């Protein structure tokens, strides 16, 4: 542990970094220059167990060779079936069979699913072992890597259990983005743009500019990711356990999740969230919570990133039934996250009634 911490402190001096406060501990996001540098640093730690996304493993086999000193390596096909309580049990059994001890460190390399499995396992094994995260997708680098949350499925029920348990350190290495499928890149931008809109003001505008300017270079992506995390950091440090301000991060998600369910996940998460924000904004605008100028501005901003597709909602009634299933529905009210302006986002309960159905019908009709 002492060795691990001194290793992290030494690295922090050489890398751009960010420090996040959580109830459990303060933890760091370090920006590495290359996958080799990033992975190479880990071998110094000792007593490692590695959980790695199979597709990342297949691409970075050569770089990962330095980790042959790990006590065990678990290569996982990252799909929803692995992200279950049963999948976690299999992983815990693998670790116990490999004599994992309370003072060992788990290294998680991959995107959101690897993060969920790794974070949840690290939080409950021996009531908590230390873990280090190397996010390999844009979404996990620019959003999910901080905030301590994990989500695990219980059989058919998605994301119903989880914990709040941050890693000791996160190493962000944008080199991994070079091999990331395009859909996965868009997934990340959905959440980054969401952060920019939630924050608004100079900082929000600055992030939007950075996206325009830098999104095609790996070193530029570092700036975008850093700015995105700084906005999220401020929110989660004030409300780690998701009881007030943190709920704003669900902006676009209520309507987005319903869209994912309705389209059987054909629409990727990032695009669903962007369309979700556009639907939320349309509802705000229709109810005179958001003025026309701001609505138009946000609509144009989002459609710079939403691909040119026909409206994915064909049956409003069916889409509506997915809204009903939302976790944040209490009785007949939906805890919607709506924009009153750029930088002024609020949780507003809205009834799942005919008026809402009409809003969505109008939205669908307005899609060009």
The binder of its own copies chosen from 13, 68, 155, 216 (CB under 8 A): 155
Site for its own copies in 215-254 (CB under 8 A): 241-242
Beta carbon of residue 13, minimum distance to its own copies (angstroms, whole number): 27
Residue 99 sits in the site that holds its own copies (CB under 8 A): no
Q: Among residues 27 and 171, whose Cβ is nearest to its own copies? A: 27
Cα separation, 237 vs 21, whole angstroms: 6
C-alpha angle 216/220/223, rounded to 5°?
135
Beta carbon of residue 316, minimum distance to its own copies (angstroms, whole number): 26
Q: Which of 88, 220, 255, 96 is nearest to 163 (CA)?
A: 88
Give whole-number Cα distances, 218 to 172, 184, 223, 332, in Å.
11, 15, 9, 46
Q: Among residues 157 and 367, whose Cβ is nearest to its own copies? A: 157
Beta carbon of residue 102, minimum distance to its own copies (angstroms, whole number): 7
Q: Which of 267, 274, 132 is nearest to 193 (CA)?
A: 274
Site track 101-120 with its own copies (rule: CB under 8 A), x = hit: xxx-----------------
Residue 358 sits in the site that holds its own copies (CB under 8 A): no
Beta strand ranges found along 176-332 (DSSP E) = 329-330
Helix (H, G, I), strand (E, B) or coil at 335: strand
Residue 128 sits in the site that holds its own copies (CB under 8 A): yes
* Contact in structure between 214 and 138 (CB atoms under 8 Å): no
The binder of its own copies chosen from 12, 36, 57, 164 (CB under 8 A): 164
Residue 309 sits in the site that holds its own copies (CB under 8 A): no
Give the distance from CA 184 to its chain's centroid: 11
Q: Which residues of this chain interact with its own copies, rule CB under 8 A?
A: 23-24, 85-86, 88-89, 92-93, 96, 101-103, 123-128, 149, 152, 154-155, 157, 160-164, 241-242, 327, 330
């Amino acid at each position: 542990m002492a060795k691990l911490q001194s290793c992290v402190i030494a690295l922090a001096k050489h890398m751009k970094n960010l420090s996040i406060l959580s109830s459990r501990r303060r933890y760091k996001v370090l920006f590495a220059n290359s996958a080799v540098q990033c992975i190479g640093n880990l071998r110094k730690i000792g007593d490692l167990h590695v959980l790695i996304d199979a597709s990342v493993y297949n691409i970075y086999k050569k770089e990962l060779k330095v980790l042959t000193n790990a006590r065990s390596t678990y290569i996982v096909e990252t799909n929803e079936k692995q992200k279950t309580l049963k999948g976690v049990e299999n992983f815990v059994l693998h670790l116990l069979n490999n004599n994992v001890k309370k003072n060992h460190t788990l290294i998680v390399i991959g995107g959101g699913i690897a993060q969920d499995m790794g974070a949840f396992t690290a939080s409950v094994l021996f009531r908590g072992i230390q873990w280090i995260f190397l996010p390999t997708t844009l979404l996990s680098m620019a959003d999910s890597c901080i905030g301590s949350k994990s989500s695990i499925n219980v059989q058919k029920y998605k994301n119903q259990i989880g914990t709040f348990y941050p890693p000791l350190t996160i190493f962000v290495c944008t080199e991994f983005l070079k091999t990331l499928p395009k859909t996965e890149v868009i997934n990340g931008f959905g959440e980054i743009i969401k952060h920019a809109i939630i924050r608004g003001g100079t900082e929000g505008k600055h992030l939007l500019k950075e996206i325009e300017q830098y999104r095609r270079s790996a070193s530029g992506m570092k700036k975008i990711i850093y700015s995105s995390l700084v906005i999220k950091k401020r929110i989660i440090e004030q409300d780690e356990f998701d009881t007030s301000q943190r709920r704003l991060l669900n902006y676009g998600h209520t309507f987005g999740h319903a869209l994912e369910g309705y389209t059987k996940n054909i629409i990727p998460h990032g695009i669903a969230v962007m369309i979700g924000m556009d639907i939320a904004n349309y509802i705000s605008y229709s109810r005179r919570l958001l003025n026309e100028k701001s609505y138009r501005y946000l609509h144009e901003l989002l459609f710079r990133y939403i691909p040119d597709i026909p409206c994915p909602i064909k049956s409003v009634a069916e889409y509506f039934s997915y809204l009903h299933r939302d976790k944040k529905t209490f009785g007949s009210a939906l805890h919607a996250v709506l924009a009153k302006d750029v930088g002024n986002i609020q949780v507003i309960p809205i009834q799942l009634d005919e008026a809402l159905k009409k809003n969505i019908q109008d939205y669908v009709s307005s899609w060009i």
